[in-house]
Amino acid sequence: MLNRILQSLLVAGLITGTLWAANDPFVGKWKVNPGKSKLTDEMKVEAAGANKYVITFQPGAVDTIVVDGTEQPALSGSTLSITAKGPNNWKVVRKKDGRMLLTADWTLSADGNTLTDEFTGYESDGSKSTTHFVYQRTTGSSGFAGTWDSDNAKPDSAMKLQIKSYEADGLSIDDPQIQITRSLKFDRNEYPDSGPDAPPDLTSSGRRLNERSLEITRKYKGKLIDTQQFELSTDLKTVTLSIILAGENKPRNIFVFDRE
């Protein structure tokens, strides 16, 4: 799930930096096409004692939480609370510095094999986006403990991506999910991310694969988070963003954006 809160770009050898900055085809405003995008997710919930659980939201993103409704220290300086509203319903809330980052309503089906998640992420400017996830149980037999997989969620239709020129030959890319901006040159050096939702020590490095393909590697405190691949269509009207999490070899999330 953190990958949703969380949850974020290329061989410049033939063209000069100035020419890239002036004519870079990635520059522009882009709006997500939910029908062409695909979100997949896996979440693991393990019992760790009386009313206590270890939740793995993605590789390396793990929280240990007592389900009692209190705010408890969690990932990246955030707090996490889970309230049991009933035997088959949990309310999940994540905050940072008192500001809401996300809420999620988890509901189990009567047979315990399906978990629905009404997930809402909040940006620092007050805007929000909602995603409806449906997970199927792949391990475990009852309750929330188990492994849960989802492959049918769609991004909020309000999601947008903005890409601007940065210095002579780089790009500045606004994260489409949270308020983080990556401003970098494609020389494989690490550049600090910025923005209200950017934690310290979050960096991005990138390279140009060709004139229509970019690859960005993100790290937190020197540890790999994910690799993001941006691919422009031949008519330059669509950009596809594929996100490959650390330790995995295929993208979990694929966002397709149309040029505005």
State the pTM of this model: 0.76
- Tell me the CATH number for domain 12-37+157-259: 2.40.128.20
List, for residues 162-173, the tens digit of each pLDDT value.
Answer: 999 999 889 999
116's enclosing H/E stretch is: strand 114-122
Residue 85 has pLDDT above 70, yes or no: yes
What's the start-to-end Cα distance of the chain, in Å? 29
Per-residue pLDDT of 172-220, as tens digits, reads 999 877 778 999 999 999 999 998 778 888 999 999 999 999 999 999 8
Both tokens of 39, joined, read 């979100």
72's tokens: 């408890």
- Main-chain phi, psi angles of 193, to 5 degrees: -75, 160
Query: What is the amino acid identity at position 101?
Result: L
Q: How far apart are CA 34 and CA 154, in angstroms?
A: 6
Residue ranges of domains in the chain: 12-37+157-259, 40-152
The helix or strand, by DSSP H or E, that contains position 245, with its residue range, turns out to be strand 238-245
Query: Do residues 114 and 135 touch, judged by C-beta distance below 8 A?
Result: yes
User: What is the Cα–Cα distance from 101 to 120, expressed in whole angstroms?
Assistant: 9
**Mode of pairing for the β-strands spanning 253-259 and 238-245:** antiparallel
Q: Which residue has the higher pLDDT, 125 or 101?
A: 101
Residue 12 has pLDDT above 60, yes or no: no
For 14-31, write each residue's pLDDT tens digit. 233 334 445 899 999 999
What is residue 9's predicted lDDT score, i.e. its pLDDT? 27
Helix spans in the chain (H): 17-23
151-177 core/surface letters (b: 16 or more CB in 10 A; e: else): eebbbbeebebebbbbeebbbbbbbbb
List, for residues 124-141, the tens digit of each pLDDT value: 777 888 899 999 999 999
For residue 22, the model assigns a pLDDT of 53
Do residues 196 and 124 touch, judged by C-beta distance below 8 A? Answer: yes
Asked if residues 202 and 193 have their Cβ atoms less than 8 Å apart, the reply is yes
Q: Residue 144 belongs to what H/E stretch? A: none
